[in-house]
Amino acid sequence: MLAPLKTLANECRARHAGLGAFNVIHLENAETIVGAAEQAELPVVLQISENAVKFHHGDLEPLALATLAIARRSSARVGVHLDHAQDLALIRQAIGLGFTSVMYDGSHLPEEENRATTAQVAHWAHDAGVTIEAELGEVGGKDGAHAPGVRTSPEEASRFVADTDVDLLAVAIGSSHAMTTRDARIDLDLIRALASAVPVPLVLHGSSGVSDENMRLAIRAGMTKINVSTHLNKVFTDTVKVTLADRPEVVDSRKWTGPANEAMLQEVARLLTQYQAA
């Protein structure tokens, strides 16, 4: 069933648990992630990024409607989220389609313009009963706030939330986008300081690069929404490689996507369970 991100995140924050948020690029991803949530009997967030929309020729609606339908029919509580959106028209479209949350990424803008535009998007979202996530600084992997030595200031984070009225805040604490190794060095003391300074749930982008042990520590320190994409893409692709190496005669895509989807399902279920037991 569809569930508001704000509700799911606040419940997890109150329990010092993590909320898994996983990217949907293809329809099968949504089916797999929801299947994992049902198996684990835990809530989950399905995320469609602006980059994924570009991959689908700039057309959000087909993938969005399918993802929303899968979420509504699930026995699990499922949020459907637009991730890392800079296009304001795309955000308005997602709100109109029934997304339960949107992330406005104004990190490319000058600070004051970012604050003003984020506040405007928050107004649109709240008028529609939709949760809004924002980011203070640019999440790394792209020479942004997660480049070595760059971190989110608790004082700036507190002011940003007060000025914009966002419901969740993505912060820079040492992780980075698109990591294929799980050796990111995260700042647990900074997470604790941010969690004390900011009255809304914190979001960790670039979680694929964080080890299981460090993720548990990050959640205990105050991190709530945990975004994972590259790690699951790696699990899926590695399984495809093994399957095709073992069975090079296979041409039916169901024969090689099936095992990969199952491997991804089991990893999502494992991560969801780990985040709750942190």
The torsion angles phi and psi of 133, rounded to 5 degrees, stand at -110, 145
- Radius of gyration of the chain from its Cα atoms, rounded to whole angstroms: 18
Instruction: Tell me the torsion sign for CA atoms 9, 12, 16, 22.
Output: negative
Single-letter code of the amino acid located at 250: V
158-197 b/e (C-beta count within 10 Å ≥ 16 → b): bebbeebebbbbbbbbbbbbebeebebebbbebbebbbeb
Between the alpha carbon of residue 4 and those of residues 23, 42, 90, 226, 244, the distances in Å are 17, 14, 19, 16, 40
Q: According to DSSP H, which parts of 198-252 are helical?
A: 212-221, 230-246
Q: Is 167 considered catalytic here?
A: no
Cα 206 to Cα 145: distance, rounded to the nearest angstrom: 12
Cα 228 to Cα 53: distance, rounded to the nearest angstrom: 18
Return the structure tokens found at 92.
Answer: 């308005």
Cα 151 to Cα 180: distance, rounded to the nearest angstrom: 21
Listed in sequence order, the residues at least 6 apart from 9 whose beta carbon sits closer than 8 Å to its beta carbon are 19, 131, 167, 168, 201, 224, 225
Q: Of 83, 87, 165, 189, which one is the catalytic site residue? A: 83
- For β-strands 44-49 and 168-170, DSSP reports them as unpaired
Catalytic residues: 83
